[in-house]
């Protein structure tokens, strides 16, 4: 079965760090474009970051310099390292696969992991 | 950055109704637009990609159209399970912006 399962969320103090993980099954993470999207409670979706199959990475301005997307081919995992966390980073974080059929869309999503930044 | 504006933000309709949601881009994005459905507490689900291609497994009551700056998502006959929030997303340039969402409620 093709699926994504996130983990690593939790309560963290402002200024702290957290690493989110996303375990993939049924497809190879390193052969695909993979992304992170977040959603604050009661709000809309916000794209966070992407990593290409070739390794290039891109970030939303709101997280640039603080978040790092990466992957581990041996474990078929995607990660999001989040540093210098702020209250406004509080959200459910989803990992997703970016289907590459003419830049198509995010076709597979995980169930999400909650990150709460609060003192 | 390219902005996406969805209209309406809220829509009240009945089972069996035909509804249309519009997504306007602040600059042309060709057909690099996708539509998603999200239900409370759940991850988004892909409905339409490249503006008009129906994703596998999505009912044919859903359709998408448009190119450039104006796009529409149409549900031809609302079913009870279609009441949800819908988002458009651009995939042409960074940031990969989402529209603000359209909440479709039962009348």
pLDDT tens-digit series, residues B47-62: 999 999 999 999 999 9
- C-alpha B66/C-alpha B52 separation (Å) is 7
Place of tokens 């993979």: A34
Structure confidence at residue A33 (pLDDT) = 97
Does the pLDDT at position A101 exceed 90? no
Question: Average pLDDT of chain A?
Answer: 97
- C-alpha A83/C-alpha A65 separation (Å) is 9
Shortest Cα distance from A104 to chain B (angstroms)?
5
CB contact under 8 A, B34 and A112: no
The secondary structure of residue A30, as a DSSP letter, is: G
Does the pLDDT at position A35 exceed 90? yes
Classify A31 as helix, strand or coil: helix
Percent with pLDDT over 90 in chain B: 98
Structure confidence at residue A93 (pLDDT) = 98
User: Closest residue of A to B100, CA-based?
Assistant: A44
Structure confidence at residue B2 (pLDDT) = 97
- C-alpha B13/C-alpha B70 separation (Å) is 23
Question: Average pLDDT of chain B?
Answer: 97
Split at pLDDT 50, 70, 90, the class of B96 is: very high
Read off the pLDDT of each residue in A85-109 and give the average, rounded to a whole number. Answer: 93
Q: Would an 8 Å CB–CB cutoff place A110 in contact with chain B?
A: yes
Read off the pLDDT of each residue in A22-37 and give the average, rounded to a whole number. Answer: 97
Structure confidence at residue A119 (pLDDT) = 95
- Sheet with strand B33-38: strands edge to edge: B10-13, B102-106, B85-90, B33-38, B45-49, B53-54
Read off the pLDDT of each residue in A34-62 and give the average, rounded to a whole number. Answer: 98
Split at pLDDT 50, 70, 90, the class of A107 is: very high
Structure confidence at residue A100 (pLDDT) = 86
Residue of A90, A84, A100, A79 lying closest to A33 (CA atoms): A100
Shortest Cα distance from B18 to chain A (angstroms)?
24
Structure confidence at residue A104 (pLDDT) = 83
pLDDT per position as a tens digit, B31-90: 999 999 999 999 999 999 999 999 999 999 999 999 999 999 999 999 999 999 999 999
Read off the pLDDT of each residue in A35-41 and give the average, rounded to a whole number. Answer: 98
Q: Would an 8 Å CB–CB cutoff place A101 in contact with chain B?
A: yes
Split at pLDDT 50, 70, 90, the class of A13 is: very high
Q: Are the C-beta atoms of A81 and A115 separated by less than 8 Å?
A: no
């Amino acid at each position: 079965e093709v699926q994504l399962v996130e983990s690593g969320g939790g309560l963290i103090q402002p200024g702290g760090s957290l690493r989110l993980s996303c375990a993939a099954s049924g497809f190879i993470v390193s052969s695909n474009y993979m992304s992170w999207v977040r959603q604050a409670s009661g709000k809309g979706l916000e794209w966070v970051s992407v990593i290409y199959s070739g390794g290039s990475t891109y970030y939303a301005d709101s997280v640039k310099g603080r978040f790092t997307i990466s992957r581990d081919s041996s474990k078929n995992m995607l990660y999001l390292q989040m540093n210098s966390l702020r209250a406004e980073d509080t959200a459910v974080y989803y990992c997703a696969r970016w289907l590459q059929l003419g830049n198509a869309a995010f076709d597979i999503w995980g169930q999400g992991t909650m990150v709460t930044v609060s003192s | 950055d390219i902005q996406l504006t969805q209209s309406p933000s809220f829509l009240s309709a009945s089972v069996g109704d035909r509804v249309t949601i519009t997504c306007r881009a602040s600059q042309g994005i060709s057909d690099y637009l996708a539509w998603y459905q999200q239900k409370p507490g759940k991850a988004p689900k892909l409905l339409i990609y490249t503006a008009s291609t129906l994703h596998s497994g999505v009912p044919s009551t859903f359709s998408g159209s448009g190119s450039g700056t104006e796009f529409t998502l149409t549900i031809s006959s609302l079913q009870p399970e279609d009441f949800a929030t819908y988002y458009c997303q651009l995939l042409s340039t960074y940031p990969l912006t989402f529209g603000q969402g359209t909440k479709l409620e039962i009348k």
